[in-house]
Structure 1
């Protein structure tokens, strides 16, 4: 079983394991990540094995600062501007990879681009200590609900890894926003913890949508799914369903829900994002076969919340 250490006491233990090629679950401001040395193929393979993750699904390489990132990828002036505006923080940039990046090919899944992010908090500290990037997808079983607490990570992966670093509940609660920065502009690959409108303001240019294919993590059609089925944008609760509510007003029949959890009674999208994955997990544990979800606005962080809910509700293999 995994040892769980508070982050203030975990830097040495995490560093020792990472140096030997072992994956470690670490907190970031977005969600918990399952981290391993991105330059070590065996270490990266252990991430895929622990998560049961398809190997055609690329990983994000996390860096300590822009200087480390520039040794891995080619930065255009626009990419540089976005990194300076939002790093460390919940933005991942997909950029052309340098020939001598040192990143193991398992991380990029054969693509000529690489997804890079500079996280806040413990993740950044341990990367700086190691002096090398860490591949770190969400610390969960592939395709299932993302962990936003050390306890959720332990329930999912505790028998598969040696160490979980406990930084408390994550502040953002959604994975990072991923954009591809190309010669013809910025393309949204995955909405996330940074609203697209903020990126557009910093870039002084629109962010395009409609990307196709798996170009970055989190783009599989079915993802973030609980065991229960998901029914979206409901206006009435059916018998036996659990309810994921939003805002002050309830759908018809809400009183008969097996369990009700409200993402944000005040309709605050930031609060809703922080609660999303933990509430899905709790509703899933209620025993209900279906989780009914009230409508969530699609602007700002609501775009990312709806993206995760749609992928959770998608047909599963």
Structure 2
């Protein structure tokens, strides 16, 4: 069932909380992408997320909390993490923190790690968590490795009746997943670029922020080499569009071959990277729907949200069908 949140938010929260109490997996809107949500403290419910999403068990989940008090029940906030949390939560930032040894989440929620990835979302999902009273494990609401959902219809198309309740909050505002950070050795490691640009984080962190090099085990979602992938193959840095391709572009410039291309998706005619991020996943899904076998994507600047956009596109373009060892060799 798809339920319009705007039509009756109180009713939506009530039905969602009842489903979560029963250990069900539901779909919720967040400001980043739609999430497949279940009670993070209920190991059986968390296992169901992995089953529905077809997600490998070594890939940890992000736990979504309503406030810092709830975060502190399950994790230890070091001084730098606390400074970032106060500045950017609620919002599109996830922190990988040491688990609270006195109140650990189930092993399946944290993929057996001594750390836990946590964020405080904004909007409806925050109100739902506050009402439910416990954190929600909520990875993106898509089949593992495929394009993330930025609309309720995307969730329905991927899962059908496997997800009994889909809460429709309209198109997501940001359109790419959260930025994931971990404080370590006097600095901050960027595990995944996302909806909060590094340029915004740096002045508050007041310590170096660097990309993490691969060390053999995933500490956070979104680090697999092949991820966010449509059915069609993806060709990056395209300076022309070839016969039979769909074209994804932004800005007002015409791409050579565009006039003969029947499937052109302009993510932002004015060249706004926030608009590009918000429209990206929907465009990849639409390109699949028209049946092309290859998608050409023009170069995207690397600054600001461009870092997250390029990260998603590089993983979307990675070879498919990797072995488990090859699949985890992605890095930022």
TM over 0.5: yes
2:241 is matched with 237
Cα separation, 2, equivalents of 1:276 and 1:36: 26
Unaligned runs of 5+ in 1: none
Deviation at 1:256, TM superposition (A): 2.2
1:222 to 221, 226, 229: 226
SS of residue in 2 equivalent to 1:288:
coil
Corresponding position: 1:281 with 2:285: yes
1:291 is matched with 295
Deviation at 1:121, TM superposition (A): 1.1
- 8 Å CA contact 2:96–2:220 kept in 1: the answer is yes
Q: Choose 286-295 or 245-254, whichever is displaced more.
A: 245-254
In the TM superposition, 1:76-91 aligns within 5 A as 76-91=78-93
Deviation at 1:286, TM superposition (A): 1.0
In the TM superposition, 1:125-140 aligns within 5 A as 125-140=127-142
- 8 Å CA contact 2:186–2:207 kept in 1: the answer is no
In the TM superposition, 1:131-280 aligns within 5 A as 131-212=133-214, 213-280=217-284
1:308 is matched with 312
1:21 is matched with 23
Relative to the length of structure 2, the TM-score reads: 0.93
2:324 is matched with none
Aligned-residue CA RMSD in angstroms?
Answer: 1.0
- 8 Å CA contact 1:246–1:295 kept in 2: the answer is no
- 8 Å CA contact 1:188–1:211 kept in 2: the answer is no
1:119 is matched with 121
SS of residue in 1 equivalent to 2:75:
coil
Cα separation, 2, equivalents of 1:297 and 1:125: 35
- 8 Å CA contact 1:258–1:288 kept in 2: the answer is no
Count of aligned pairs between the two proteins: 315
Deviation at 1:182, TM superposition (A): 2.1
- 8 Å CA contact 1:141–1:156 kept in 2: the answer is yes
Cα separation, 2, equivalents of 1:253 and 1:128: 52
Deviation at 1:234, TM superposition (A): 0.5
Task: Indicate how the Cα distance of structure 1 residues 258 and 210 shifts in structure 2: closer, same or farther if over 3 A, else same.
Answer: farther
Cα separation, 1, equivalents of 2:90 and 2:212: 27
Unaligned runs of 5+ in 2: 322-332
Relative to the length of structure 1, the TM-score reads: 0.97
Task: List structure 1 runs of 4+ shifted beyond 6 angstroms.
Answer: none
SS of residue in 2 equivalent to 1:158:
helix
